[in-house]
């Protein structure tokens, strides 16, 4: 079975799944990277670190090899194509099965679907292939909905996502926080407006006013930091907020583990939200915004996490108070969260599911393969 993923470049979010495919004895896996990132701010490429990467951008020979993968391999997945749609069109002309991979399309708002350039780009990536042997891998719970607003059949959309694996062998430093687990709050994100860290600080004020003494540790840095520090002072909660700045991955995982309660407050601009996976993998009780792309897929409210709607500060604070006042509930929810991200939503399970579906699709075609082998929940189940 030859499986190839096309995307702009190999990054840390894609790596766990790529490594799972590469480790399979019966899969010949290739990742085609389309974009040279040298000198680009904020783009950390892993193209040079793995032998399964084809660097299409290097020269004509690599581009020709990329085209052979596009038209000859058993299954091809096309992600962010950096404008190089010729590979998708060539695959479609062959009549062979393929997938497109996408986060939500309407991050700016539903009104964006009426903007002509957006309409054309969406048609070019999805609409023109709706009668072809293509299915969409939705890396957001809102991708299928957004595509439906453009007239694309949501029946051709499958749940997918990012799978940032946290193994038991990961180097997670020992806890240094004196507060008991599930009695401290933490978050980890860039400090930019759409992460809505101000909601966390406003909610903290309400939690403290309810008589629950707790500390909020905020990992990450960014242009919002000064404003957020001033807000904490203005609300009188500065003594209960700690701004940690940028942390290493290991230190971030340690913060999650030692705190036990993780806040994820991003708005609809958060296509997925990999820190939700990571916090759940550490057994955290996650309280998250339903607007984040990962949340409706990963969290069942009250079972393996808690969900608040919109920018509802009261709802966020209420859920936090409930968790902090009921340690047994928090432990039960945290354990269920860990089972979720180490079970159906782990990289290995996603890779195994994808390989199994791919084998069926090559023999039977999408309609039959999905009807006979549909997954009840988790990756590759229906995204409707």
pLDDT tens digits along 200-217: 999 999 999 999 999 999
- pLDDT band at residue 42, thresholds of 50, 70 and 90? low
Reported as a pLDDT band with limits 50, 70 and 90, residue 367 is confident
Q: What is the Cβ-side half-sphere exposure of residue 377, based on CA atoms within 13 angstroms? A: 11
At residue 39, the pLDDT reads 66
pLDDT at 310: 87
What's the mean pLDDT in 13-29? 96
Instruction: Determine the average pLDDT of the residues in 362-367.
Output: 91
- Asked if pLDDT for residue 379 goes beyond 60, the answer is yes
Mean pLDDT across the stretch 317-327? 94
Q: Do domains 2-163+346-373 and 184-341 have the same CATH topology?
A: yes
What integer pLDDT is reported at residue 41 of this predicted model? 62
Residue 99 reports pLDDT greater than 90: yes
**pLDDT in the model for residue 177:** 42
d(CA 300, CA 321): 19
CATH of domain 2-163+346-373: 3.40.50.2000
Per-residue pLDDT, 166: 72
pLDDT at 75 over 90: yes
- Compute the mean pLDDT over every residue in the chain, rounded to the nearest whole number: 92
Give the model's confidence band at 162: pLDDT under 50 very low, under 70 low, under 90 confident, else very high.
very high
| Residue 209 neighbours by CB distance under 10 Å | 12
Q: What is the pLDDT of residues 218-247, one digit of tens each?
A: 999 999 999 999 999 999 999 999 999 999
How many helices and strands, by DSSP H and E, does the chain display? 14, 13
Please report which confidence band the pLDDT of residue 173 belongs to, taking 50, 70 and 90 as the band edges: very low
Distance CA 170, CA 281 (A): 12
The confidence band for 167, taking pLDDT boundaries of 50, 70 and 90, is: low
Please give the pLDDT value at position 172: 46
* pLDDT of 183 strictly over 90: no
The pLDDT value recorded for residue 180 is: 62
- Mean of pLDDT values over 72-76: 98
Cβ-contact 54, 28 below 8 angstroms: no
Superfamily (CATH) of domain 184-341:
Glycogen Phosphorylase B; (3.40.50.2000)
- Let me know: does 161 contact 144? Beta carbons within 8 Å: no
Question: Cβ atoms within 10 A of the Cβ of 77, count?
Answer: 20
Q: Where are the domains of the chain?
A: 2-163+346-373, 184-341
Name the DSSP class of 93. H
Q: What is the helix (H) or strand (E) element at residue 368, kind and residue range?
A: helix 366-373
């Amino acid at each position: 079975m030859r499986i190839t993923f096309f995307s702009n470049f190999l990054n840390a979010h894609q790596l766990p799944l790529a490594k799972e495919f590469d480790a399979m004895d019966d899969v010949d896996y290739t990742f085609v990277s389309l974009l040279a990132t040298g000198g680009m701010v904020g783009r950390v490429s892993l193209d040079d670190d793995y032998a399964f990467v084809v660097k299409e951008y290097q020269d004509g020979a690599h581009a020709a090899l990329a085209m052979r993968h596009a038209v000859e391999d058993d299954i091809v997945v096309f992600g962010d194509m950096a404008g190089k749609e010729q590979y998708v069109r060539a695959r479609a002309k062959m009549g062979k099965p393929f997938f497109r991979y996408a986060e939500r399309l309407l991050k700016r708002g539903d009104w964006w679907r009426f903007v002509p350039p957006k309409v054309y780009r969406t048609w070019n990536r999805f609409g023109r292939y709706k009668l072809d042997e293509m299915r969409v891998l939705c890396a957001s719970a809102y991708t299928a909905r957004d595509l439906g607003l453009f007239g694309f059949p949501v029946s051709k959309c499958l749940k997918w996502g990012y799978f940032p694996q946290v193994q038991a062998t990961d180097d997670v430093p020992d806890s240094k926080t004196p507060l008991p687990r599930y009695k401290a709050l933490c978050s980890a994100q860039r400090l930019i407006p759409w992460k809505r860290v101000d909601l966390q600080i406003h909610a903290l004020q309400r939690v403290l006013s309810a008589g629950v003494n707790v500390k909020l540790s905020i990992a990450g840095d960014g242009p919002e930091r000064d404003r957020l520090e001033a807000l904490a002072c203005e609300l009188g909660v500065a003594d209960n907020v700690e701004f940690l700045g940028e942390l290493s991955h290991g230190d971030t995982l340690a913060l999650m583990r030692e705190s036990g309660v993780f806040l994820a407050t991003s708005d609809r601009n958060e296509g997925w939200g990999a820190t939700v996976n990571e916090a759940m993998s550490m057994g955290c009780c996650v309280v998250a915004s339903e607007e984040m792309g990962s949340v409706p897929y990963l969290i069942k409210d009250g079972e393996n996490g808690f969900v608040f709607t919109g920018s509802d500060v009261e709802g966020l604070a209420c859920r936090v108070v409930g968790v902090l006042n009921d340690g047994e509930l928090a432990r039960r929810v945290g354990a269920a969260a860990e089972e979720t991200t180490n079970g159906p939503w782990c990289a290995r399970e996603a890779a195994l599911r994808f390989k199994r579906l791919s084998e069926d699709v090559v023999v039977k075609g999408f309609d039959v393969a999905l009807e006979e082998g549909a997954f009840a929940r988790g990756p590759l189940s229906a995204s409707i």
